[in-house]
């Protein structure tokens, strides 16, 4: 259900594509509140009704234009699928806060059910066995959702599966079926009614402005989550230009290749999309083109319907992977590397504020591109620059990696505003740049916050958590506190008596979400920022938690041995950068990755299991643990100020806090 909401809600209100972690945090909050209500009357009847409210609300909001002040962070909110007279609301706080509240409410009945079952296991068997079944269910959920994404199923299928599985919770209470069945049907009806997409890829809901099969030479727009993403259009030089916009676009696409010293033989295109860049390169006589595109469905749409049919050429090899992953594993040299208009409108994962494209535009990403060039090769980068500081970040990464200032063109080229060219292939264009280059290196570059793999926030003005994100953090934290205190007398009592707060469980939740965030970003650097990587990492983490929990039940480790293993492996992951895991042997890389992620997760889960099994009130303990995860999710925003690597130190500090609490009780 959580994964389905993370995918469906951005298709209705596109700003939510930039905040998938808010659904994750709200799910933890709802589950935590539900756990705290374990001893109270069942709220299962609320589940289908709360989901219907959530669906209905966001179906209504899908017809509203929400604007955003780009000073906080550049968000591409382009409402191509709405009429010109659609209502306009300034600011994006309303849909974000509504999604958080309504999503959290929908998870409360499930959290209560989990806690009741944990109490039952604690009474008749062991809370660890109950927790193991819970983790196994989560693992099956991740695998199941990965399968429906792979099969490109529509949201009605996702939620139908959720409701069919959820039926098991209601079968023992036949009377509640009178609420559940109509509520589930109402939800599915709203999902069908709200559907606007023609396709679903693993990353986006996708639509086109006209049927690609009948659009002919005019081409067609591709929209993701309702926002303009790209246009597939004929760009051959011999093709007559039909409009001023088309003329500018064609001129921009061909401009850098007209400047080459000699035609490029072997070319790499990153962010190939539906094939515009590939078509232009074929028109310029490229002999061999590797076209890399992360979204398999966009690649397939281009293969079938692009007016120039570039992917039909025997000179083109399509590669469905992440651009950075291809650069990292590149064992070939290219005469030319082309960065297409490679900017995403979604996040890397539900655990991170990093966007899908951010690791491409870092210092390390540019260095990887430089390493893949032949001695006389060159690089071309197209980009739609919306703010000067974004261009500064880009130039900082490029110049730091290549050691030279790029030649370039600025203008309105239809789908991009900047063209950067550098490398020996464009050395004849440097001219007066040499004089400016010295000034840039000495005076300007030191003032630029260059994006790196540790701080990959291309679209943020500078390091720090700006007022926009601080306000969201304060609102979410406030809602969490209010929600917890309203529903749980025990929580109010435990806070009133400070010693009653289960700080151990809270810190376990905080620390674990932080290290999970660290690992999902690290593995995306090692294996590529693809949906499959995220699914495999989530599955691996859950599998390791399950294994550790079962081991702790059958043959538990000593507490201090588990703690030592946890701290040592976390320190190792802090000091060993992800690129040390890169190697051409996939088996070796897999073994290193499993050790990198698996060992800290195993020991963290072992420590948690050793403390959780002795809890007298497992419902309260699990509730505090989930609320700690809420805190960890909010603390992830601080990576915008301190970088991703520092999250490991915060997690280590939280685990040391647990060690101190245990030592105080058992000196």
What's the whole-number mean pLDDT along residues 2-28?
A: 85
* CA–CA dist 385, 215 (Å, integer): 29
What's the whole-number mean pLDDT along residues 398-408?
A: 90
More confident residue, 499 or 222: 222
DSSP class of 558: P
Q: 242-343+363-447: which CATH number, 3.40.50.970, 3.40.50.150, 3.30.420.10, 3.40.47.10? A: 3.40.50.150
567 and 652 Cβ atoms separated by less than 8 Å: yes
What's the whole-number mean pLDDT along residues 252-279?
A: 91
Give the Å distances, CA to CA, from 475 to 10, 204, 288, 633, 634.
20, 28, 53, 13, 11
Q: Give, in words, the CATH class of 2-199+471-665.
A: mainly alpha
Question: How many other CB atoms are found less than 10 A from the CB of residue 333?
Answer: 13
Decide if pLDDT at 8 tops 60.
yes
630 and 29 Cβ atoms separated by less than 8 Å: yes
Instruction: Parse the chain into domains and list their residue ranges.
Output: 2-199+471-665, 242-343+363-447
The DSSP line for 480-533 is HHHHHHHH-HHHHHHHHSGGGS-HHHHHHHHHHHHHHHHHHHHHHHHH-S-HHH
Decide if pLDDT at 349 tops 60.
no
How many percent of the chain have pLDDT more than 90?
Answer: 33
How many percent of the chain have pLDDT more than 70?
Answer: 91
Contacts of 400 (CB under 8 A, 6+ apart): 363, 366, 445, 450
Grouping H, G, I as helix, E, B as strand and the rest as coil, residue 615 is: coil
Per-residue confidence band for 347, with pLDDT thresholds at 50, 70 and 90: very low
Q: What is the pLDDT of residues 84-142, one digit of tens each?
A: 888 888 888 899 999 999 999 999 999 999 989 988 988 888 888 888 999 999 999 98
* CA–CA dist 28, 49 (Å, integer): 19
Same fold, 2-199+471-665 and 242-343+363-447: no
Decide if pLDDT at 350 tops 70.
no
What's the whole-number mean pLDDT along residues 76-89?
A: 75
13 and 62 Cβ atoms separated by less than 8 Å: yes
* CA–CA dist 415, 231 (Å, integer): 8
DSSP class of 292: E
Decide if pLDDT at 399 tops 80.
yes
Outline where 85-154 has alpha helix (H): 93-124, 127-150
Decide if pLDDT at 534 tops 50.
yes
* CA–CA dist 115, 505 (Å, integer): 15
Computed on alpha carbons and rounded to an integer, the radius of gyration of the chain in Å comes to 26
* CA–CA dist 337, 341 (Å, integer): 13
* pLDDT at residue 313, rounded to an integer: 95
Give the Å distances, CA to CA, from 624 to 27, 462, 488, 569.
14, 34, 12, 25
539 and 118 Cβ atoms separated by less than 8 Å: no
Decide if pLDDT at 217 tops 70.
no
The first and second tokens of residue 220, run together, are 């067609």
* CA–CA dist 220, 308 (Å, integer): 12
Q: Which of 162-171, 352-361, 447-456 has the least mean pLDDT?
A: 352-361
Q: Which of 199-203, 419-423, 560-564 has the least mean pLDDT?
A: 199-203
Decide if pLDDT at 191 tops 50.
yes
* pLDDT at residue 216, rounded to an integer: 56
* pLDDT at residue 16, rounded to an integer: 84
Give the Å distances, CA to CA, from 257 to 396, 611, 622.
24, 63, 60
What's the whole-number mean pLDDT along residues 633-642?
A: 88
Per-residue confidence band for 152, with pLDDT thresholds at 50, 70 and 90: confident
pTM summary value: 0.86
305 and 209 Cβ atoms separated by less than 8 Å: no
Q: What is the pLDDT of residues 572-631, one digit of tens each?
A: 888 888 777 776 666 777 778 778 888 899 999 999 888 988 888 888 888 888 889 889
Q: What is the pLDDT of residues 275-331, one digit of tens each?
A: 999 999 999 999 999 999 988 899 999 999 898 999 999 999 999 988 888 888 888
The first and second tokens of residue 339, run together, are 């960065």
**What average pLDDT is seen over the chain?**
85
Contacts of 2 (CB under 8 A, 6+ apart): 23, 24, 27, 107, 350
């Amino acid at each position: 259900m959580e994964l389905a909401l993370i995918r469906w809600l951005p298709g209705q209100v596109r700003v939510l594509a930039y905040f998938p972690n808010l659904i994750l945090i709200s799910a933890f909050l709802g589950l935590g509140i539900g756990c705290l209500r374990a001893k109270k009357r069942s709220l299962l009847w609320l589940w289908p009704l709360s989901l219907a409210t959530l669906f209905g609300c966001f179906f209504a909001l899908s017809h509203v234009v929400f604007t955003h002040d780009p000073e906080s962070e550049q968000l591409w909110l382009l409402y191509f699928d709405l009429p010109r007279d659609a209502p306009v609301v300034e600011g994006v706080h309303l849909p974000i806060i509504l999604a958080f509240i309504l999503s959290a409410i929908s998870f409360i009945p499930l959290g209560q059910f989990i806690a009741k079952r944990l109490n039952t296991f604690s009474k008749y068997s062991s809370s660890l066995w109950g927790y193991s079944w819970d983790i196994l269910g989560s693992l099956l959920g991740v695998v199941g959702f990965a399968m429906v994404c792979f099969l490109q199923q529509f949201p009605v299928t996702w939620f139908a599966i959720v409701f069919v599985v959820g039926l098991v919770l209601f079968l023992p209470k036949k009377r509640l079926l009178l609420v559940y069945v109509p509520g589930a049907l109402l939800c599915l009806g709203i999902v069908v009614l709200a559907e606007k997409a023609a396709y679903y890829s693993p990353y986006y809901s996708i639509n086109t402005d006209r049927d690609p099969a009948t659009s002919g030479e005019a081409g067609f727009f591709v929209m993701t989550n309702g926002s303009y993403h790209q246009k597939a259009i004929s760009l051959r030089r011999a093709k007559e230009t039909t409009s001023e916009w088309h003329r500018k676009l064609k001129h921009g696409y061909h401009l850098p290749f007209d400047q080459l010293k000699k035609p490029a033989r072997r070319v790499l295109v990153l962010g190939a999309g539906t094939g515009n860049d590939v078509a232009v390169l074929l028109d310029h006589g490229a002999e061999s083109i590797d076209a890399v595109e992360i979204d398999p469905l966009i690649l397939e749409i281009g293969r079938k319907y692009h007016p120039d049919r570039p992917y039909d050429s025997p000179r083109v090899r399509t590669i469905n992977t992440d651009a950075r992953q291809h650069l990292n594993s590149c064992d070939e040299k290219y005469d030319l590397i082309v960065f297409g208009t490679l900017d995403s409108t979604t996040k890397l994962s539900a655990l991170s504020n990093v966007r899908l494209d951010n690791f491409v535009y870092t210092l390390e990403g540019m260095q990887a591109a430089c390493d893949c060039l032949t001695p006389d090769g060159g690089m071309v980068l197209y980009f739609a620059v919306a703010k000067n500081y974004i261009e500064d970040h880009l130039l900082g990464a490029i110049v730091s990696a290549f050691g030279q200032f790029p030649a370039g063109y600025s203008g309105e080229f239809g789908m991009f505003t900047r063209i950067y060219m550098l490398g020996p292939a464009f050395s004849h264009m440097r001219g007066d740049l040499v004089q400016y280059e010295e000034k840039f290196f000495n005076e300007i570059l030191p003032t630029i916050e260059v994006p790196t793999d540790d701080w990959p926030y291309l679209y943020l003005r500078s390091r720090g958590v700006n007022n926009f994100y601080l306000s969201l953090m304060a609102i979410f934290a406030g809602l969490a506190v209010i929600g917890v205190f309203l529903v749980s007398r025990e929580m109010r009592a435990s806070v009133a008596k400070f010693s009653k707060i289960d700080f151990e469980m809270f810190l376990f939740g905080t620390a674990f979400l932080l290290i999970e965030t660290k690992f999902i970003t690290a593995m995306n650097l090692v294996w590529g920022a693809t949906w499959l990587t995220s699914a495999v990492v989530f599955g691996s983490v859950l599998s390791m938690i399950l294994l550790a929990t079962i081991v702790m039940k059958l043959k538990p480790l000593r507490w201090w041995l588990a703690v030592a293993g946890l701290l040592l492996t976390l320190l190792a992951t802090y000091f060993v950068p992800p690129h040390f895991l890169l190697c051409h042997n996939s088996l070796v890389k897999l073994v290193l990755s499993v050790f990198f992620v698996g060992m800290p997760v195993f020991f963290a889960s072992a420590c948690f299991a050793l403390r959780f099994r002795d809890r007298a009130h497992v419902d309260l303990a699990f509730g505090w643990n989930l609320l700690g995860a809420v805190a960890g999710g909010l603390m992830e925003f601080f990576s915008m100020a301190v970088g991703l690597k520092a999250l490991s130190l915060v997690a280590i500090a939280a685990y040391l806090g647990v060690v101190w609490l245990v030592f105080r009780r058992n000196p």
